[in-house]
Structure 1
Amino acid sequence: MDEQHDELGAPALAAARAELVRSVDLQAGRVRALPLTRLERAAEGERRTRAEQLHEAAQALADLAADAEGQPRRPLPVLAVHGLGDQLAVVGHDVAAAGDAAALAAAHEQLARVRRAL
C-alpha cells in the first residue's frame, strides 16, 4: 500500500512494520519450540487444537497480506504440525511488508490470539 496514503508517517509505519516482524518472529519461535504433542492437543476449555487455532491465525494473516497486496485471498494448506511456526512466520512477514497501519494492527491482534492459544 502507498505509504503516502497511510495514516502513519513513513518513519512511524517503518517502526510499526519492524515491531510486527519482531512479534511474528517471537511467536513463530515459540511455536517451533513447543512439543508437537502440545500443538496437537486442545488447551483446557478449548474445543479446537492449538494447531487448528494456529492455522486459523495464519490464514487470517495471509488474508491481510493478500488484501494489502491487492491479490485474491487463497486458502493456506494445512501443514504438518512441525511446519506451523514457519507458516506463521512467512505470512506474518508478508503482512509486515505490505500492510498499512490497519493491517498491522489487525496482525497484532492475531498474534495476541496465538499467544493465548499457546
Structure 2
Amino acid sequence: MSAAELDRAVALLVRQVGHWQQPRWAAVAEGGNVSRADLVHRLVQEIADLAADAEGEPRRDVPRLAHPMALPDQLRVVAADLVAAGSPAAVLAGAAATVTATRSVL
C-alpha cells in the first residue's frame, strides 16, 4: 500500500505544480526563505538519496536543470526509482509524507 501512497502523493504534487511558469517557481515557499523551485529540488534530492540507500549505491547530487519546469519529471523518476529499489513500506510511507508536507507549503 505504501507504493500506492507515494504514487498518489507524487501525482497530487505534480498536478499542483506541473503547469507553473518561471515566476511561480521563483516565488518564496510559504513560511520559508527559499524559492518553490529550491524546495521541490530539495525534495527530489531527498527521495533520490532514499533510493540510493535502498539500492546500496552512493548518494549522488541530482542535477539542477536550467528550467524548474523539469522538477515534476525529476520527482516522478526518483519516486519510481525508490519503489523499484524494493524499499520497505516504512520508507515509502515516509517518502509519501515528505512529498505531502512539501506540497502543503508550495
Using structure 2 for the length normalisation, give the TM-score.
0.86
In the aligned structure 1, how far is the partner of 2:34 from the partner of 2:102?
Answer: 13
1:33 alignment partner, SS class: coil
Per-residue deviation, 1:52:
0.3
Q: Distance in 2 between matches of 1:90 and 1:117?
A: 22
- 1:74 counterpart SS class: coil
Aligned residue pairs, count: 104
Q: Which has the higher contact order (CA 8 A, sep 6+)?
A: 2
Runs of 4+ in structure 1 off by over 6 angstroms are none
Specify the structure having the higher radius of gyration (Cα).
1
Pairing 1:36-115 to 2, within 5 Å after superposition: 36-79=22-65, 80-98=67-85, 99-115=87-103
**5+ unaligned residues in a row in structure 1: which ranges?**
1-14
Name the % identity. 43
TM-score (norm 1): 0.78
Q: What is the root-mean-square deviation in Å for CA atoms of aligned residues?
A: 1.5
In structure 2, the gaps of 5 or more residues are: none
